[in-house]
Chains A and B, each alone.
Chain A
Amino acid sequence: MHVEPTPQPTLIDASRLVIEAMARAGADAFIGYPITPANHLYRYASERMPMMMPAPDEITTVQWMTGLGITGKIPVTATSFPGYALMVESINMAFMMEIPMVIVLVQRLGPATGTATCGAQGDLLLLRGTISGGHPLPVLATSSFADAWTLSAEAVKLAVRLRTPVVLLTTKEEMMTAKSYDVSTLPPITPTALDTYGGDAPYCTYAVDDPHGVPRFLPAGNDRHQVRYNASTHDPCGLLQHTSPAAMANTRRLENKIRHNLASFTFYDYDPQQGAATLVVAQGICAAAAKDAVMALRLGNKAVSLLIPKTLVPVAPVYFEMMAAYERVVIVEENINGQLAELFFGAQPPAQVRTLGALGRMITPAEIIAEVEA
């Protein structure tokens, strides 16, 4: 006879899950500074990470992280929009140098310093445009406690595998709300490691045969081979160039390595229902309301499907295949300008796409139901 184990819930917030998952996945340094609503992450990191340094500001944060990454550490930080905005140039540097790191972006209400203790989903288009040249910076977004665990680990692994900064996107409501949760149900996490060059031939920091490839890593300070990291346009050996063919090929590779490997980090939950004409699309904090709304609609015999995209940048082609199958798509997001819809479709989404937004508050299941039934 099968006996269900007794639930062992604990009262826990998702910030704790994020830091623990990242540490188990191999992140070994946290550089941070206080910023609401990322403060829980900062505190937990001070207890968990093998190395933890308080930085004086946001630019220093990512510079230190990059320096640590150059020596083989896998650094993490956590911030919100005001901090992320200041980090942008340095994130570009890490992207150009191909240094793995994870930036946890906990969204809050803007513009500017806005309301630090109010959640929002207003930073999506900033994330899409973070890298000069429009190159995609991978963005994974949590939509549940389970995601806070699995996607945090995936973010670390993705950063290492593709040698790139990765953003883990979340919101104040997700990171600062405690819930009863049985952590014994969480899957184990295996640590990742950098793919380190071990050859005898001279090392070229960015040399790789595959135009979509990820070069092997070697830390500065090693005793065997000279390494050159460069934030300026450079050739495969890391030497500064203007626009030489080799340098342009390298810059193209930065784009290609992300897009070519997109399928390996396309995460989503798709819950289709037979006969549904409407698809609700929601991510992050709105996904919770969408789950309740879809459940209620189905209890009322209204067929409706649900898509929770979790890889947001680059946009996965599979999302378009799913959305194309419905007469109506309702995109739910906690902003008033349809950023997720714009991320998917550009400035003018197709006619069958409707957006439901809100400013300074959470969108309720009732509002989603009303929009689906409108």
Chain B
Amino acid sequence: MSHAILNDLPLPYCKGCSHTPIAKNTAKALEACGFRPLDVISVSDIGCHGIIDKCLNTHTVHGLHGRATALAAGVSMGLARPEKKVIVFIGDGGATIGLQHILEAARLNLDMTVLVHNNMLYGMTGGQTSGLTPEGFCTTTSAEGNPYAPYDICALALSAGATFVARVMGNTDTSADLVEAFRTKGFSLVELMEICPSYGVSRNPGRKLSTIIEEAGRPLGRWHRPPRQGLPEQAEKCTDLLASLEAVPPRFSHAISHQIALILSGSAGEGVQLASTVLARAAMASGCHVTQKGSYPVTVGVGFSTAEINLSPRFIHFHGILDPDYVIISSQDGLDHNLARIQSMQRGVLFIDTSLPVPDTEMEIVRHDFRGIGARNASLFAVFFFAHHTGLLDTGALFAALGQGKAAAKLPVDKIREALDRL
């Protein structure tokens, strides 16, 4: 294979378009850096610049409008080979659409170079204004001149974390600037200023490119950041997600003859989900099948916290709970959240803290002081009380489910035992 970056096909651009010298200077710079064609992955966006693929001896990837930088970012992450070079051909329109992708690649300092062909308008689609069109520049959609100030893509990329950025005239020999960009380890961006010969020149008669750039307040230049780390090496985590699971073999007995559904509800921060897990694990240790899910408002630290639990001697398929057998309420938040359900129920047992009003319901009522042990453990004590009162589960299974670790040491195990002994 040829060592030339460009093949023998003629470059497909309009007469006078700076895309042609940009393509030639890109090839010249890559070759000057010592890159062979298969060292280079050229990722092109949608636009006139993007039809360069067929003229390249490099690997080529042709993506979606505005997304080439993100696509190339993925290539750069996956390659992780410093001897390779990922370059992006994108226009000012694509850079506008995919601005976030440029900022993100710069932020991560990914090893790649973005070549922004800024001819100040969307060329392929008919000469419309882009986010990089200078104020006052005339396009097919801004006949009187663009009324908006453009992005400074170099400043944005640099502030986001790029290692090297440059703004250069696309119709000159830019190869030295491109060499610097291609030799940069990390993210580099070169904004190549042009005027589209088909849509830009005729609508802005007599205006020189250099004047437009100067009036736009976008000086040519090079800007650097000190070299810094790009994508860090990803640690080989590969933690087997099943290996760390603690099996709960059956070693207690239970008195559950059919699937029962239970709602446990209280306040956020009062251990509802912990209590739910303790109950579930205790049931498993008793040979039951279990389902468990939590429910709470998006602001997880306030308001209600609810758990739905099914316990069954047989495998559980359907875990939805519309008509629970037991509802355990340990706080006003829990009561408020379940009030309509409780009021509509014709059966079942309601365990409710003595501090709370008893709703109008057909449920059997069991009142007890759950909060006396302390609000943070009200729900936990409630499930112990539930097991003791119903006899469905051995409270020994619940104590065993509390575990032995640091977290368990903070739980009021002795207080719970004493409270149960007093029943």
**A→B interface (CB under 8 Å):** 6-12, 16, 19-20, 23, 29, 31, 44, 46-53, 55-57, 59-60, 63-73, 89-90, 93, 97, 116-117, 173, 176-180, 183, 219-232, 234, 238-240, 287-289, 291-292, 361-362, 364-365
Contacts and interface: CB of A to CB of B under 8 A. Distances in A.
A50 B291 CA distance: 31
A331 to B, nearest CB: 17
A90 B284 CA distance: 44
Given A48-B237, A183-B245, A226-B57, A288 B37 contact: no
A59 B318 CA distance: 36
A64 B70 contact: yes
Contacts of B316: 179
Given A48-B237, A231-B62, A68 B74 contact: yes
Contact of A220 (B54, B75, B238): B75
A230 to B, nearest CB: 5
B236 A70 contact: no
A31 B295 CA distance: 27
B59 A68 contact: no
Listed from nearest, the 6 A-B pairs whose CB atoms lie closest are A67-B74, A71-B78, A63-B70, A362-B320, A64-B74, A8-B247
Interface string B225-251: 000000000101111111001111110
B15 interface: no
B134 to A, nearest CB: 27
A63 B104 CA distance: 12
B75 A67 contact: yes
Contact of A289 (B62, B239, B289, B317): B317
B109 to A, nearest CB: 14
16 contacts: A11-B284, A16-B242, A23-B238, A56-B104, A59-B70, A60-B73, A66-B74, A67-B77, A117-B295, A173-B320, A180-B283, A220-B61, A222-B59, A231-B64, A238-B60, A289-B317
Given A56-B100, A180-B280, A240-B54, A64 B318 contact: no
A362 B81 CA distance: 50
A229 B62 CA distance: 6
A120 to B, nearest CB: 13
Q: How large is the interface on B (under 10, 10 to 19, 20 to 34, 35 or more residues)?
A: 35 or more
Given A6-B250, A47-B237, A90 B67 contact: yes
Contacts of A10: 245-248
Contacts of A67: 43, 61, 70-78
Given A11-B281, A289-B318, A89 B64 contact: yes
Contacts of B290: 11, 178-180
Contacts of B51: 240
Given A48-B240, A59-B67, A226-B58, 10 more contacts: A16-B241, A20-B241, A93-B64, A173-B293, A177-B291, A179-B291, A226-B59, A228-B59, A238-B62, A239-B54
A54 to B, nearest CB: 10
Nearest to B236: A50
A6 B285 CA distance: 12
Contacts of B81: 221
Contact of B237 (A50, A71, A117, A223): A50
A52 B291 CA distance: 30
Contacts of A239: 53-54
B78 A68 contact: yes
Nearest to A363: B320
A226 B4 CA distance: 13
Contacts of A228: 53, 59-62
B58 A230 contact: no
B79 to A, nearest CB: 5
A230 B62 contact: yes
Given A48-B238, A178-B291, A179-B316, A71 B79 contact: yes
Nearest to B319: A177
Contacts of A238: 60, 62
A63 B70 CA distance: 6
Interface string B138-174: 0000000000000000000000000000000000000
Nearest to A228: B60
Contacts of A57: 100
Contacts of B320: 173, 289, 361-362, 364
Contacts of A72: 78
Contacts of A117: 295, 298
Given A9-B248, A12-B245, A173-B319, A73 B237 contact: no
Given A19-B241, A89-B64, A224-B38, A64 B77 contact: yes
Nearest to A223: B38
Contacts of A48: 237-241
A32 B79 CA distance: 19
A48 B237 CA distance: 6
A231 B68 CA distance: 11
B101 interface: yes
A201 B38 CA distance: 15
A240 B283 CA distance: 62
B181 to A, nearest CB: 19
Nearest to A286: B318
B84 interface: yes
Contacts of B245: 10, 12, 183
Interface string B332-375: 00000000000000000000000000000000000000000000
Nearest to B69: A63
A177 B293 contact: yes
A44 B244 CA distance: 12
